[in-house]
Amino acid sequence: MPQAGEFDRAKIAIVATRWNVEIVDALVAGARAALRDWGVNDKRIGFFRAPGAYEVPLAARLLLDGGYDGVVALGAVIRGDTPHFDFVAGECARGLIDVQLSTGKPVGFGVLTVNTVQQAVERCGPGTTNKGYEAAAAMLEMLRLRKELK
């Protein structure tokens, strides 16, 4: 957990997809809860929507280049009857790793990649097991590590 005042000056962005809105909004609520629990000032949190998971890496890159210290990337890619899932989920994950490595800034990966809607619902409930909460906490831990290593 954070030390008092550790993250009160951090500028954090949440980028969430427009697809599967009920699930994604629950992930957003989880991420906001984590940021609040870790002491991030509400006024220093930006919220943005990307059309879909495929577009999230570029959105994250633009936000990090625009002065944010870290990004929490949220979405839900649910397998369907076509290979579309494989392309979108894989490229989103690869793109976000590329963003982290090229900017040196952390991105919390909260994009669910599941087979069913039920699996997504199970991962976005209230509490610290919400994958949005976990993604925000992981991003903040990496922000801490980055600061320690400088």
DSSP structure class, residue 105: -
Q: Is 30 helix (H, G, I), strand (E, B) or coil?
A: helix
Count each helix (H run) and each strand (E run) in the chain, helices first.
5, 4
Q: Which residues of 3-36 are buried (b: 16+ CB within 10 A; e: fewer)?
A: eeebbeebbbbbbbbebbeebbebbbbbbbbbbe
Spatial distance between the Cα atoms of 133 and 67, rounded to a whole number of angstroms: 22
The catalytically annotated residue of 84, 87, 97, 118 is 84
78 contacts 117 by C-beta, under 8 angstroms: yes
Tell me if residue 20 is catalytic: no
- Give the active site residues: 84
